[in-house]
Amino acid sequence: MKAAQKPIITRFAPSPTGYLHIGGLRTALFNYLYARANGGKFLLRIEDTDLARNSIEATQAILEAFQWVGLDYDGEVVYQSQRFGLYKQYIQQLLDSKKAYYCYMSKQELDELRAEQERNKQTPRYDNRYRDFSGTPPQNVAPVVRIKAPLEGAITFDDGVKGHISINAKELDDFIIARSDGSPTYNFVVAIDDALMGVTDVIRGDDHLSNTPKQIIVYNALGFDIPRFFHVPMILNPQGKKLSKRDGAMGVMDYEKMGYLSEALLNFLVRLGWSYGDKEIFSMREMLALFDPNALNSSPSAYNEDKLLWLNQHYIKQTDNAALEVLLSAFGAPKLSEKSRQILYPALKERCNTLVNFTQSLQEVLNPPTTYDEKMRAKLDSTALQSLGALYETLSIQTKAWEGVADIESYLHDFASQKQIKIGKLMPTLRCALLGKSGGIGVCEVLIALGKEQSLERIKAFISHI
Ligand code: GLU
């Protein structure tokens, strides 16, 4: 009989030292997709052992970001800070089985060793002096605990992104697993937790690649199964440099404030380091169906803001008007009548790529202009203004023309030809009266969305202003 395959268990393990950045969210997304698509589990572990650098706010921000983008995790969040007792047990187990030992090397001895290695142009590494120590320990040194690294051979693993990795034992030393105050070190707790949480696949940034051999030493010492590793290259800026705040290495929640939709951000991130043919748009369902960590790219990906904006516009267009109104209300957009919404939303969906500029454009239409563009005004001659006056009069007594965009459009064309003025002259004049500036959505859409009363008020105000 074929052995049943173990279900896939992935995790995201952020350190709450700052806000969740988009690189972190990408890692979380890859892990989420892989687990969810395979009926596995996706776990969240907060790596908060560094009590001096961690903050509750940062943990909150991580959870908030997860909620915003809709990545749900299984079970309870695991906090490393609550597991010190557990780590201690495993340190003791390794000491008892002689796979780890107390090292009494003083700070001064360590400095001397470093200096000597530097003089000899050797890489600084611990020289195993307490590995097989059986004498009387010095009194005045609080010992650290070191794990016994292999003395020969190599630590090897097959990385799903980087390929076969082999680290010669000579490059690894007996590293510290517990500090002199008894607190466990980073690589030790990561390995313990991944093993105890049953993690089968670790997808993480390639800045962690050099930690992996150390973690494998811990796995081996405790007889744990070693997970599969996928080390994903960094996201770089368009110039090929490390992503900085200016390029967008911001907290995930900043993207919400800038008016991005979470679907757009996730779609953007999934394509940084992974592709499926030349497909660019991925709904969550498609991501789940198509994502495969074995197809992760081994070269770095580049952050491209234009693409993010393009995707955002795509998802804004996809959002139905009622749902979009709810999203826009968080940015201060007012609730519209059904009729105005039906006219303005499709027109603005064509022009706006964030919820922020959508709201701005909406407000530019809804709020009467307080100033009028000088250049536009200068172009208006007396005929243009006269015809605007005549138009005001006739539109005041019209009903049919105000019924819809097509009605007002044909009415304006008829009016222009009767008065023998060019429509190309009438429209900019009207635009200036209604909006105070050039550009923006069509004049006929504005007229109908504002309605007869407001439109006429604006035309009147403009005529009396000039
Ligand atoms: N806590 C680590 C970090 O935030 C990640 C550890 C891991 O994924 O193994 O960079």
Q: Per-residue pLDDT tens, the chain, 466 aa: give them.
A: 455 678 999 999 999 988 889 999 999 999 999 999 999 999 999 999 887 888 888 899 899 999 999 999 999 999 999 999 999 999 999 999 999 999 999 989 999 999 999 999 988 899 999 999 999 999 989 999 999 999 999 999 999 999 999 999 999 999 999 999 999 999 999 999 999 999 999 999 999 999 999 999 999 999 999 999 999 999 998 888 888 777 766 889 999 999 999 999 999 999 999 999 999 999 999 999 999 999 999 999 999 999 999 999 999 999 999 999 999 999 999 999 999 999 999 999 999 999 999 999 999 999 999 999 999 888 888 888 899 999 999 999 999 999 999 999 999 999 999 999 999 989 999 999 999 998 889 999 999 999 999 999 999 999 998 8
Give the integer Cα–Cα distance in Å for 14 and 91.
23
Give the integer Cα–Cα distance in Å for 122 and 118.
6
Give the integer Cα–Cα distance in Å for 274 and 281.
13
Axis crossing angle, helix 338-349 with helix 321-329, rounded to the nearest 10? 90
Q: Is 245 a catalytic residue?
A: yes
The pLDDT of residue 19: 84
**Architecture field, domain 80-232:** 3-Layer(aba) Sandwich (3.40)
CATH number corresponding to 368-465: 1.10.10.350
For residue 201 and ligand 1, the question of a CB distance below 6 A is answered with no
Range(s) for CATH 1.10.10.350 in the chain? 368-465
Question: Each residue of 239-298: pLDDT tens digit?
Answer: 888 887 777 668 899 999 999 999 999 999 999 999 999 999 999 999 999 999 999 999
Task: Please check whether residue 81 is in contact with residue 48, taking contact to mean a CB–CB distance below 8 angstroms.
Answer: yes
Pocket test for ligand 1, best of 208, 214, 232 (most atoms within 8 A of CB): 208
For residue 409 and ligand 1, the question of a CB distance below 6 A is answered with no
CB atoms within 10 A of CB 208: 17
For residue 190 and ligand 1, the question of a CB distance below 6 A is answered with yes
Q: Which atom of ligand 1 is nearest to the CA of 194?
A: 9
Give the integer Cα–Cα distance in Å for 221 and 200.
18
The pLDDT of residue 435: 96
The answer to whether the annotation marks 245 as part of a ligand binding site is yes
The pLDDT of residue 249: 60
Q: Which atom of ligand 1 is nearest to the CA of 47?
A: 1
**Nearest CA residue ID for atom 6, ligand 1:** 13
Distance of CA 11 from the midpoint of ligand 1 (Å) = 10
Question: Each residue of 101-136: pLDDT tens digit?
Answer: 999 999 899 999 999 999 999 888 999 999 999 999
Give the integer Cα–Cα distance in Å for 17 and 186.
14
For residue 349 and ligand 1, the question of a CB distance below 6 A is answered with no
Range(s) for CATH 3.40.50.620 in the chain? 9-76+234-295, 80-232
Q: Which atom of ligand 1 is nearest to the CA of 12?
A: 8
The pLDDT of residue 183: 95
The pLDDT of residue 363: 96
> Which residue reads 């090397």 in tokens?
105
The pLDDT of residue 328: 98
For residue 131 and ligand 1, the question of a CB distance below 6 A is answered with no
The beta strands (E) that lie in 135-214 are given as 144-147, 154-159, 163-168, 176-178, 201-205
CATH, domain 9-76+234-295, list 3.40.50.620, 3.90.1150.10, 1.10.10.10, 3.30.70.360 = 3.40.50.620
Distance of CA 275 from the midpoint of ligand 1 (Å) = 24
Q: Is 288 in a helix, a strand, or coil? A: helix
